[in-house]
Chain A
Amino acid sequence: MRRKNILIAAVALILLSLGLMLEQFWLKVATEALIMMLLAISFSLLYGHTGLLSFGQGAYFGVGAYGFALAFTRLHLDFPLCLLVGVVSAGLWAAATGYLCVRLAGIYFAIMTVVVAQSTFFIIFQWYSLTGGDNGIQGLVPPDVISGTRGYYYFALAIVSAAFYAYYRLINSPFGLSLRCIRENMIRAKFVGIDEHKHRLKVFILSGLFAGLAGVLFAPFTRSVVPQMADWISSGKAVFMGILGGASYLLGPLVGAAAWVFLDAFVSGFTVHWPLIIGILVFVIVFFMPGGLMGLVHSYRVRAKARKRGSSGLLSDGTET
């Protein structure tokens, strides 16, 4: 327990000092990594914790961003209120579309999320009078205090930390356990009195809120929104980051998003063949480390513990919370 607190303090110190130490380019990369953690969390909640494979989290990322942008440029609301409008619109869209998706199971659920996401993309893309179509919306400048690279890094750090805490509480709550029961054995879960439809819809909305919050933070970060934020590449990114880190582990989405964004920035510095690298990376993960990076850490720890006890007796596997 005490070791855990020291670890948390150390990570906090590193994250806080990064804001002072990093140069502009890497500070921006770090900010993007923070924001993308929320998108990875959104995927992990559904896939890692509930067993629902969503290929459509990009839709809620996009809706969050556009919700913010429209509130900002059309309604001229205060900045914090615009953030709220963005998150709420993503949540509402997740509720409406989730209602359709959670009725389906397995591959049909996955296909439905793709259908919903592509529809969302095309609505944004074609509704020219509202969204500006492929021009997107520009001029999303945050208030002075956080408009600098450093200011925005700290702003994102604060919001993402709070959201991460919410995610931590969520997966440790009774609801979080219910989700894992649904993932492990839906029939058994039903027959101990868990209303699986209701639970799946609830987690779908919650994960939409996380994706929406990511979109809301991303819009003022790049000062603009474009329809591509809601496209299938955006959704795919959520999947890759989640899988890379290990979607069923508490820290999986954080590690996955950070690894992804930094790798992206690093590799695209010297080659244009970044997608090729991604392809190979995904291949390696799927074949050799299905638990992702945190899965590796976890199995190492289980083995170390067993060695300490002088036996091969596995104590606990599954979700590291």
Chain B
Amino acid sequence: MAEILRTEKLTKHFGGVMAVSGVNLVVNRGDIHAVIGPNGAGKSTLFNLITNYFEPSAGRVLFKGQDITGRPAHAICRMGLARSFQLTNIYPKLTVFESVQMSLLSIEGLAGSLFGSTGKLLQEDTENVLEMVGLIEQRDLIGNLLSHGDKKRLELAITLGNRPEMLLMDEPTAGMAPDETWEIVDLVNKLRLEENLTILFTEHDMDVVFEMADRVSVLHQGLVICDAVPEEVQKDEMVRECYLGSAWPVTS
């Protein structure tokens, strides 16, 4: 399997605190790859370093073989690496349709265009994305009026509008009701199959992680302490001690 993303000795310290220290991570194309770990392990920071939301203190990020360390966020996005945020990040006063249309316009290189009217531009593509995430009924609602679960879906739709090759999702099901959670899991699985997306995500719900992931990396105090297929991660002594707890069933 070919790799799509690689981090080399990626490091970030905030003052004296080592948030991420020397992380080497390889994500293979087409995989659903989970990053798990206790609170404060550095999961979100790792995501923020990969997408250059924070500048790394040291190390490199390679996406599709190119060094993207320190490239502006918008340029990384245009290369096909999109992300969602832990705290839902949408446009509160734009309609669902506009929010997704923007991503499509952006990736088509039309974000700065002064010509044409947004009313109908890329309407079909936008509706396709909304159809995919199940928000077509709400297309004319403004983002703020959506339920929490639908806001999460909208943010997913916003990232999908960028037609990414790889998607970074920081806790895609955080705060969702159980049935909503499984809808998202199904959706993500479908996306992988239909759109051939590579997905890197963090998650606290271990049922979701072990259901979805092809590969799991465990982060603890800024270090990768385990990187393997889910079955092995569950058996790993150190992981059990640091994170899962000894009560976690060995067989899944």
Contact = CB atoms under 8 A, between A and B. Distances in A.
Interface string A95-120: 00000000000000000000000000
A315 B203 CA distance: 34
Contacts of B159: 192
Contact of A174 (B53, B92, B121): B121
A109 B111 CA distance: 23
Interface residues of B, number: 46
A195 B107 CA distance: 12
Contact of A175 (B85, B95, B111): B111
B103 A174 contact: no
Contacts of B117: 169, 172-173
Contacts of A169: 114-115, 117
B82 A192 contact: yes
Interface stretch (B6-14, B54-62, B72-80, B236-244): B72-80
Interface residues of A, number: 32
Contacts of B78: 193
Contacts of A188: 85, 89-91, 158
A202 B93 contact: no
B94 A180 contact: yes
A195 B110 CA distance: 12
A200 to B, nearest CB: 11
B90 A185 contact: yes
A196 B72 CA distance: 10
Interface in A289-305: none
Contact of A180 (B89, B91, B114): B91
Contacts of B74: 190-196
B93 A317 contact: yes
B102 interface: yes
B118 A176 contact: yes
B111 A184 contact: no
A316 interface: yes
Contacts of A314: 142, 145
A315 B93 CA distance: 11
B140 A192 contact: no
Contacts of B107: 192-193
B106 interface: yes
A147 to B, nearest CB: 34
A47 to B, nearest CB: 15
16 contacts: A175-B111, A177-B102, A181-B94, A188-B85, A188-B89, A189-B102, A190-B73, A190-B77, A191-B89, A192-B77, A192-B102, A192-B106, A193-B78, A193-B162, A315-B140, A316-B141
Interface of A: 169-170, 172-178, 180-181, 184-185, 187-196, 198-199, 202, 314-319
Q: Which 8 A-B pairs have the closest CB atoms?
A: A318-B93, A184-B91, A193-B77, A193-B106, A192-B103, A174-B113, A190-B73, A178-B111
Given A188-B91, A193-B74, 9 more contacts: A172-B119, A174-B112, A175-B114, A178-B105, A184-B94, A190-B74, A191-B77, A191-B83, A193-B162
